Amino acid sequence: MSTVHPSIGALYRFVRVLAMAGLCLAGGSALAEPPNFAAIAFHDVVDTPGELDDDAITADRLVSFFDWLRGNGWTAVSLDDIARARSGEKALPAKSVLLTFDDGYRSLYTRAYPLALAYGFPIVAALVGEWMDAPAGSPVRYGNRWVPREHFITWGQAREMQDSGLVEFALHSRALHVEVVGNPQGNTMPAAVTRSYAPGAGYQSEADFAAAVGADLSTGSAAQRRELGRAPRAMVWPYGRYNAVGTRAAQHQGFEFALVLDEGPASVREPLRVARYLPTYNPPLAELVRSLTPDPDEIRVDRLVCLDPAALWAGDEEASNERLGRAIERVRALGITGLVVDAVRVDAQGRITSAWFPTRELPLAGDWLSRVAWQMRTRAGVKVYARLPHRAALATLGDESRVLRLYEDLGAMVPLDGWLLEGAAAPLRPMRFDDPPPLYVHRPGTRPNQAAWVVRARRQSMLKALGEASDADAWGWRAFAVLDDARPGLELLWLAPAYTAAAHPLANLSLVPAGFDDPVADTRVAPVDPALARWFTGAAPPDATRLARTSIDFQRHGGVSFGWCPDDPVADVPAAAVVGPAVSASKFPLRR
């Protein structure tokens, strides 16, 4: 009988653990074929370009895509296939795609279903109970407009499609495919992740919000059981938005799958977080094909600017909104991709004095952050990253449970895209065979894979390994985990020490601080790693001409992403008309 040397066995086990987690070595190559598959979220299928809306696709383009799948060795899989792969009963084919159609448009029956029959492709279709139960001839509220009930399939058509064995129906909620008022200023946000606001009554409580989501899933599931003879096993979150409250409700109701709109491939190991690509603007065949195998090494281009909400807060709503409107137009003129927004006020001693969002733990400077974030996201098209230093929170609140409640409130009340982690050390230590996953190391001369889905997997594994660690860095990571529960898929920006040469393997983007006087050709401050961004800082906002010249020189020396702080959006310093052409990350031609 052969024996295996203990050190070789340890190495084998370590590699297997990383492979099972779907992770990558520091150089970025996959350890083993992960149990991943592609998933696509189609909506309406129309016959002519004149009938298109943002999420629709023309029938001829869908046919071309189905032809391409058939001719290039791709297999359309069902939820049964994914369940068998998850249980280890039968592996998925190497090139597998889950085809889904949301909202239950009439074209599901007249266009998608005939194509499924012709190609033998299984599909998953998501239905909104409220729309399905509307009487014939009545109007249905769809987004911000009313449409005829006849825009959607009937229960009879659903039964016919289900009987074919090729169409499985999922729940798209009973009545959560709407937006609700989410702040005192009247912004409307996705109901499945928003605690609604009513004048005089204030915000919906966390308990009432959780109860409402659970009741919606229960009644929606019961309706499908009544009409189709079976309860849905898949939940498709409206607008792709979900959080820990909804996930727990789905688990409680017995859902086996939850489909979302996260970036990257789907994994059989995350059945309650099935990532899907959303085709928009009737994409060409080449783009649909690229969505099947997203490039983990695609270089991201970021332009970041910090924003203090106090600069836009005038004390009264009319004046504050006027300042916010001008700031939005300036952001558009700058062509930036993200804002790093202060969530709290911090005094000269580094203690937090108040918050720009409702919280149980701090006085309210103004219920303003939600408004700023939502307007910037929807009108300026930028990502919003919160700046709430965890070390300052620890120093101010003292009790660690209060710190986590502060972050819980931030995640619950403010629509964010990410968080800036400050004051956390880089994880640079030698690899040991007994290290838990993920690969919590950096090897000189190599760059870890920074694809969003890979970084997310590394973070999830690291959080499990924290145990009872009580140092400030550990609490920083727990703060991020709390935020990510409330707003899954958050990006993490890491503010690195000056002259950092390597990106943080657990961050989506690492910001390297540097002054404007630092020579951009210096290899310490002119990173070639696209996961490193230059973060220009100073005592005052930069001069526009100087910033334009410095940013062009930075890019000429191999830099990709950068940003600056402070910035004055009210006085327009630096002047957007001067600096915009040099710093803009806008892409042309514009999509229409």
Residue type, 244: A
Distance CA 124, CA 127 (A): 10
Q: Is the pLDDT of residue 530 over 90?
A: no
Q: Name the band, by pLDDT with cuts 50, 70 and 90, for residue 461.
A: confident
Domains 32-178+231-292 and 303-583 share a fold: yes
Distance CA 22, CA 16 (A): 10
Label residue 289 exposed, middle or buried (CB < 10 Å: 0-12, 13-18, 19+).
middle
Give me the pLDDT at residue 15, please: 30
Give Rg (Cα) of the chain.
Answer: 25
Q: Name the band, by pLDDT with cuts 50, 70 and 90, for residue 429.
A: very low
Q: What is the pLDDT of residues 231-258, one digit of tens each?
A: 999 999 999 999 999 999 999 999 999 9
Give me the pLDDT at residue 502, please: 80
Q: What is the pLDDT of residues 376-393, one digit of tens each?
A: 999 999 999 999 999 999
Q: Is the pLDDT of residue 71 over 80?
A: yes
Between 25-29, 96-100, 214-218, 438-442, the lowest mean confidence (pLDDT) is in 25-29
Give me the pLDDT at residue 526, please: 46
Domain ranges for the chain: 32-178+231-292, 303-583
Distance CA 552, CA 406 (A): 40
Enter the DSSP assignment of 49.
G
Give me the pLDDT at residue 468, please: 65
Q: List C-alpha distances in Å: 185 to 14, 154, 415, 464, 487.
A: 52, 38, 14, 39, 21
CA atoms within 13 A on the CB side of 457: 27
Q: How far is CA 509 from the centre of its chain?
A: 14
Tell me the sheet residues that pair with 384: 339
Is residue 107 within 8 A of residue 44, CB to CB? The reply is yes
Average pLDDT of span 126-148: 94
Is residue 350 within 8 A of residue 392, CB to CB? The reply is yes
Three-state secondary structure readout of 254-320 = CCCEEECCCCCCEECCCCCCECCECCCCCCCHHHHHHHHCCCCCCCCCCEEEEECHHHCCCCCHHHH
Label residue 294 exposed, middle or buried (CB < 10 Å: 0-12, 13-18, 19+).
middle
* H helix or E strand, kind and range, residue 494: strand 491-495
**Taking phi first (over 0 means left), then psi (-120 to 50 degrees means alpha), and beta for anything else, what does residue 194 get?**
beta
Distance CA 118, CA 178 (A): 34
CATH class for the domain made up of 303-583: alpha beta
Q: Name the band, by pLDDT with cuts 50, 70 and 90, for residue 17.
A: very low
Is residue 143 within 8 A of residue 97, CB to CB? The reply is no
Q: How far is CA 80 from the centre of its chain?
A: 27
Dihedral Cα 550, 554, 556, 559, nearest 10 deg = -160
Distance CA 52, CA 46 (A): 7
Q: Helices 544-556 and 576-583: crossing angle, nearest 10°?
A: 0
CATH no. for 32-178+231-292: 3.20.20.370
Is residue 437 within 8 A of residue 18, CB to CB? The reply is yes
Mean pLDDT is highest, among 18-22, 281-285, 428-432, 586-590, for: 281-285
435 or 104: which leads in pLDDT: 104
Q: Is the pLDDT of residue 432 over 70?
A: no
17-31 in b/e form (b: 16+ CB < 10 A) is: bbbebbbbebeeebb
Q: What is the pLDDT of residues 299-357, one digit of tens each?
A: 889 999 999 999 999 988 899 999 999 999 999 999 999 999 999 999 988 899 999 99
Q: Helices 206-228 and 244-252: crossing angle, nearest 10°?
A: 40
Neighbours of 378 (CB within 10 A): 14
Distance CA 323, CA 333 (A): 15
CA atoms within 13 A on the CB side of 55: 14
Q: Is the pLDDT of residue 464 over 90?
A: no
3 state DSSP class of 576? helix
Q: Is the pLDDT of residue 437 over 70?
A: no
Give me the pLDDT at residue 2, please: 35
Strand 352-355 to strand 344-346: parallel, antiparallel, or no bridges (unpaired)?
Answer: antiparallel
